[in-house]
C-alpha cells in the first residue's frame, strides 16, 4: 500500500525535555478566590482585635471568665490562617513534586534513549499499519496493536497492547495521518 504519511525528526535533549513536560505537565495552582482572601483578612483583623481585648483584659486584671471569649476568638483567628498556610505549603509541595517528576522522567528517557541521541527517526503510515525506523531498530506495527491514542499539546502518544508507548511530534503529523490514526483507533475500538 502507498504511504499516507511520512516524516522524520532528530532525537535531541530538547525533544526528550518536551516529552517529559508533556508526560508530567506543570501543576499551576489556581489563585485564591476573593471570598477566601476576605475571610483571611477578616481573621487577621479578628486576631488583632481579640489580641487587643485580651491584652487589655490582662493589663486591667479582669477575671478569667471575662477573658474566655477574647481568648477563644484569638485562638480561632490564629488557627484559620495557619490552616490556609498549610494548604499553601501543600500546594507548593505539589508544584515541587511535578518539577521533580519531570526531571525524573527526563533522566529516565535520556538513559533509555542514550543511543538514539542525535539520530534520525523516520515514521511511515499506511492503511495496514505504521513503521518507525531508527539507527537502533525498525519497528513495524499493525493498527490492531493500537490500544489508546493520547493527544498531548506537543505529542501524540500511541499506546500499544504490549505496553509500549510511541511518541509522535504533533507538529509533524499531517491532517491525513491524524485522521488515519483516529479512524483506525475508532475501528479497532468498535471491533473490541
Give tens-digit pLDDT for 24-64: 777 777 777 788 778 777 777 777 777 787 777 777 877 87
Determine the pLDDT at residue 190: 65
User: Are residues 150 and 80 located together in one domain of the fold?
Assistant: no
Q: Which helix (H) or strand (E) holds 121?
A: strand 120-125
Q: Of 64, 83, 112, which residue sits at a domain end?
A: 112
As for how many domains the chain has, the answer is 2
User: Are residues 90 and 46 located together in one domain of the fold?
Assistant: yes
User: Are residues 139 and 153 located together in one domain of the fold?
Assistant: yes
Q: Of 112, 131, 165, which residue sits at a domain end?
A: 112
Q: Are 21 and 102 in contact (CB under 8 A)?
A: yes
CA neighbours within 13 Å on the CB side: how many for 82? 7
Cell for 86? 498549610
User: Are residues 50 and 107 located together in one domain of the fold?
Assistant: yes
Give strand pairing partners of 130: 125, 141
> What residues make up the domain containing 160?
5-24+114-191
Q: Which helix (H) or strand (E) holds 151?
A: strand 146-151
Q: Of 65, 97, 112, which residue sits at a domain end?
A: 112
9, 74, 83, 109, 189 from 148: Cα distances, Å? 23, 56, 41, 21, 9
d(CA 103, CA 26): 11
User: Are residues 141 and 177 located together in one domain of the fold?
Assistant: yes
Q: Model-level pTM greater than 0.85?
A: no
Cell for 91? 500546594
Determine the pLDDT at residue 191: 64
Low-confidence ranges of the chain (pLDDT < 70): 1-2, 190-192
Determine the pLDDT at residue 54: 73
Whether 134 is covered by a domain: the verdict is: yes
Whether 29 is covered by a domain: the verdict is: no
Amino acid at each position: 500500500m502507498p504511504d499516507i504519511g511520512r516524516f522524520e525528526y532528530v532525537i535531541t535533549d530538547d525533544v526528550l525535555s518536551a516529552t517529559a513536560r508533556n508526560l508530567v505537565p506543570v501543576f499551576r495552582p489556581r489563585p485564591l478566590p476573593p471570598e477566601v482572601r476576605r475571610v483571611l483578612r477578616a481573621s487577621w483583623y479578628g486576631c488583632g482585635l481579640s489580641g487587643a481585648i485580651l491584652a487589655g483584659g490582662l493589663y486591667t486584671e479582669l477575671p478569667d471568665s471575662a477573658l474566655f471569649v477574647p481568648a477563644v476568638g484569638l485562638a480561632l483567628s490564629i488557627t484559620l490562617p495557619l490552616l490556609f498556610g498549610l494548604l499553601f505549603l501543600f500546594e507548593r509541595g505539589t508544584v515541587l513534586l511535578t518539577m521533580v517528576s519531570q526531571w525524573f522522567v527526563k533522566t529516565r528517557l535520556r538513559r533509555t534513549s542514550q543511543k538514539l541521541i542525535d539520530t534520525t527517526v523516520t515514521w511511515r503510515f499506511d492503511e495496514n499499519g505504521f513503521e518507525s525506523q531508527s539507527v537502533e531498530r525498525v519497528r513495524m506495527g499493525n493498527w490492531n496493536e493500537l490500544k489508546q491514542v493520547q493527544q498531548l499539546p506537543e505529542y501524540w502518544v500511541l499506546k500499544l497492547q504490549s505496553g509500549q508507548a510511541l511518541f509522535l511530534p504533533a507538529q509533524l503529523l499531517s491532517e491525513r495521518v491524524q485522521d488515519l490514526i483516529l479512524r483506525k483507533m475508532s475501528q479497532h475500538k468498535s471491533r473490541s
